[in-house]
Amino acid sequence: MSRKSIITALVISMFLVSVIPTANAYKGYQLSRGPVDDFTLTNQNNELMNLSDFRGDVVVVAFIFTKCPDVCPIITQLLRSVDEGLTTEYQEHVSIISISVDPEYDSPEMLKQYTELHGVDWPHLTGDKAEMEPIWSSFGLVVQKNVIDAHLNDINGHQAEDSTLTFVNKSGVATELMNTPTAWSTTKFAAAEADWELNYSIHPDFGTMLTGIEGVDAPDDYSWWWKLMTYNKTSESWEDSMVGVDSVEYPLSKNVAWVASSADHSLLNTPDMDNSSVSVVFPDNTTAHQQITDNTGWHLTSSAFDGAGISFSAPDSQWGHYLESVGGENPADDNNSWWWELHEWNETAMNWEASSVGMDSIENPSYLAWAPNSTDDSTIPMPGVFAEDDDVVCDGHGWEMGSGAGKHCMCDEGYEWPEDTMLSCVLADVTEEYYVGHSTTTLILDTQRKPVIAWTGDSWQPEEFIEDIEALVQDEGLVEVESSGIPGFTAAVGIAAISLAAIRISNNRDDNDQ
C-alpha cells in the first residue's frame, strides 16, 4: 500500500470513529454482569407480578423492608423524587420496583401501608422466604438477618424500646430528640411525685440554680448551699458534681442527690441502679428519698427538651401540664393564633395522629411529637432516625448502631465492613454482592435485565440518578437525542466528509494513472 493510501485510510478511520455512537459514562458504579433471573412475586395490591412484565423498560430495583427506621424511608423518598423528576418522554421507558428483604413481616398489607405512608405507587413486591431467597441470590444480594434485626432493636446506639420526641418548629423544621433526662429533669420528676416544693432560678450563664427544697432555702450569706451529688458506679460512692444540674447527662443523671453543704453526705444510701431517684440531706441531717415511678408524656417531653438543651415552658394547671413555649417560640407572641399540638405515633397504621388527651394522660409513651397545630400530620417524619457526629468510631467513616453482640457500624457511602469485624469501616471494593441492612444498594437494569449501574447508600442525589437513567435509556436506543457521539448532525457531517475524502482520493489516483 502506498504512503498516500495509508494516510487516506487513517483519515477515513478518524471520521468513522467520530460518528460511531459511544456509550455514556455513568455517575453511579458501573457493573458488568449477566441478567438476573425472572421471578413472580406479589405486590402491595395482592397482584402477581413478573420481572418480565417490565420487558423493554429500563428498571430501577430497590431493596427495602417496612420496619426499617433509617435508610429505607430515605431511599423511598429519593426514588419518589426520581419518579417525579423524569420527563414524560423517559417515564414511559422506565419502571421502578421495590423488593422486600423481610418477607416474614412484609405482607402485601404492610407494603400497602408503607406505600401510602410515603405517597408512592410503584410495585412493592414480596413473597414467602422460599420464593425470595433465590431472587436475592440472582441479584447477588446478601440479606443479613442479624443486621435487619439490629435496625429494629437499636437505632444508632439507642434502644428501640426507648422513647423519642419529634419537635417541629414554626418553620416546619423537624428534629427527633432522644429520651435523655438531665439531673434537673430527674429532680423535677422526683419533686412532682413526692410533692416537694422547689425554689430555683435560672441564671443566663450558669443555668438552673436550686436554692430551696421544701421551704428550706440556702441563706444569702452562703454559710451553706445546696450541692449536687452523683453516684459513681465504679467506686460505689457519692461524689460532688463538677458541673451544673443542667449539664449532668443521662445515664449519670439517673440517680442524683441534693445535700446541704453543711450536712453529712455519708447519710446517703446506695441507690437502686434499676430505677431513677433523688435523695436529699437537709441541714439538720434529716433525709428524704424519692424513687421515680411515673412515666408520662410530660416526663418524655421534659427529658427530651432538657437533654437537647432546648428551653421550654410547660406550666402545671388544673388540667395538667401544657406546652407553653419551645425554643423561644410562643403562641402568645402571635396573639395565640396557633398552639402547640401533641401527636402520638400509631404503630399499627404507621402514621402520626393528633393526641386526644394531654401529655400527663399518656402513660409509658413510645413516640411523641410536638408541632404547631397547622402542621400536616403526614409531613412529620417517622420516628427512629438519629444522626451523630463522631469522628472516632467506625474509623471516622460512619457511626455505631446497636449494643452488645449486635453492635455494628453504619458505614458512609463508599465504605464497608472488613471481613473480620462489623465495628470498622474501610474503603469498599465494588463487587457483585450488595449488602442489605447497613448500606442498601439500588440497581438500574437495562432492557435485558442486566444490572448496569449501582448506587449505594442513601446519600445520593436524585438529579444525578436521573442522569444515569436517561443515559441508559439513550444507550438502549429507547429515546433518540441530538448530542455528540449519537448519529445526527455530527453523523451527517462525518459521512459528508468521508464522501469528499473518497472523491478526492479517486481523483488523485486518476491523475497519477495518467
User: How much is the pLDDT for 274?
Assistant: 87
CATH 2.170.130.30 fits 161-383, yes or no: yes
Domains 29-156+396-475 and 161-383 share a fold: no
CA nearest to 447, candidates 131, 51, 41: 51
* 3-state secondary structure (DSSP) of residue 236: coil
The per-residue pLDDT for 142 is 64
Percent of the chain with pLDDT over 70: 76
Ranking 121-125, 244-248, 377-381 by mean pLDDT, the lowest is 377-381
The larger pLDDT score, comparing residue 117 to residue 186, is at 186
Distance in angstroms (rounded) separating the CA atoms of residues 235 and 38: 63
* Residue 159 predicted with pLDDT over 50: no
What is the average pLDDT across 317-335?
95
pLDDT for the residue 24: 59
CA 378 – CA 346 distance, rounded (Å): 12
Q: What is the pLDDT of residue 246?
A: 93
Burial of 99 (0-12, 13-18, 19+ CB in 10 A): buried
Q: Which of 355, 356, 379 is nearest to 367 (CA)?
A: 355
User: What number is the average pLDDT over the span 308-325?
Assistant: 94
pLDDT at 2 exceeding the cut of 60: no
Partnered with residue 154 across adjacent β-strands are 159
pLDDT of residue 250: 82
The grid coordinates listed for 196 are: 416537694
Report residue 145: phi and psi, to 5°: -60, -35
* Other Cβ atoms within 10 Å of 215 Cβ, number: 8
Which of 292, 250, 67 shows the shortest CA–CA distance to 162?
A: 250
The pLDDT tens digits of the residues spanning 412-449 come to 666 777 766 777 788 765 444 444 444 478 999 999 99
Single-letter amino acid code for the residue at 210: L
The dihedral built from the CA positions of residue 360, 361, 363 and 365, taken in this order, carries a sign that is negative
Q: Which residues contact 309 (CB under 8 A, 6 or more apart)?
A: 246
Q: What is the pLDDT of residue 145?
A: 59
Strand order in the sheet with 255-260: 237-240, 226-232, 255-260, 277-281, 287-291
- What tens digit of pLDDT does each residue of 201-231 get? 998 888 999 999 999 999 999 999 999 999 9
Q: What is the 3-state secondary structure (H, E, C) of 305-369?
A: HHHHCCCEECCCCCCCCCCCEECCECHHHHCCCCCEEEEEEECCCCEEEECCCCHHHCECCCEEE
CA distance 376 to 353: 10
pLDDT score for 486:
42
Q: What pLDDT, on the 0 to 100 scale, is given for residue 497?
A: 45
- The per-residue pLDDT for 384 is 65
User: Does position 266 have pLDDT exceeding 70, yes or no?
Assistant: yes
In contact, 200 and 209? CB cutoff 8 Å: yes
Q: What is the mean pLDDT of residues 165-173?
A: 90
Name the DSSP class of 267.
G
- Contact assessment for residue 399 and residue 409, using Cβ atoms and an 8 Å cutoff: yes
- Is the pLDDT assigned to residue 339 strictly greater than 90? yes
Residue 87 has pLDDT above 70, yes or no: yes
Task: Give the per-residue pLDDT at 397.
Answer: 75
Nearest to 182 by CA among 228, 249, 133, 231: 249
**In which band, very low, low, confident or very high, does the pLDDT at 123 lie, cut at 50, 70 and 90?**
very high
**21-51 residue pLDDT tens:** 445 578 888 887 889 999 999 999 999 999 9
In terms of average pLDDT, the best of 133-142, 150-159, 226-235, 329-338 is 329-338
Please give the Cα distance from 436 to 133 (Å, whole number): 13
Q: What is the pLDDT of residues 48-71, one digit of tens each?
A: 999 999 989 999 999 998 887 667
Alpha-carbon separation of residue 451 from 233, 413, 455 (angstroms)? 55, 19, 11
Distance CA 276, CA 292 (A): 5
Q: Determine the pLDDT at residue 330.
A: 96
Sign of CA dihedral 38, 40, 43, 48: positive
pLDDT of res. 158: 37
Measure the CA–CA gap between 469 and 58, rounded to whole angstroms.
Answer: 8
Check whether 253 has a pLDDT greater than 60.
yes
Cβ atoms within 10 Å, residue 153: 14
DSSP states of 438-489:
TS-EEEEE-TTS-EEEEEESS---HHHHHHHHHHHHHHTTSS----TTSSSH
Nearest to 81 by CA among 469, 428, 395: 469
Q: How many CB atoms lie within 10 A of CB 263?
A: 20
Which H or E run contains 202?
Answer: strand 198-203
Structural domain boundaries in the chain: 3-22+485-513, 29-156+396-475, 161-383
5-9, 248-252, 298-302, 452-456, range with greatest mean pLDDT: 298-302
SS3 for 390-414 is: CCCHHHHCEEEECCHHHCEEEECCC
What pTM did the predictor assign? 0.49
Residue 62 or residue 308, greater confidence: 62
Residue 438's pLDDT is what? 40
CATH number for region 29-156+396-475: 3.40.30.10
Phi, psi at residue 512, to the nearest 5°?
Answer: -65, -35
The confidence band for 378, taking pLDDT boundaries of 50, 70 and 90, is: confident
pLDDT at 1: 47
Residue 498 has pLDDT above 50, yes or no: no
**Cα dihedral: 233, 237, 238, 239 (round 10):** -90
| Mean of pLDDT over the chain | 81
Whether 483 has a pLDDT exceeding 80, the answer reads no
Query: What is the structure's pLDDT at 393?
Result: 67
pLDDT number for residue 485: 45
Among 32-36, 183-187, 354-358, 462-466, name the one with the lowest average pLDDT: 32-36
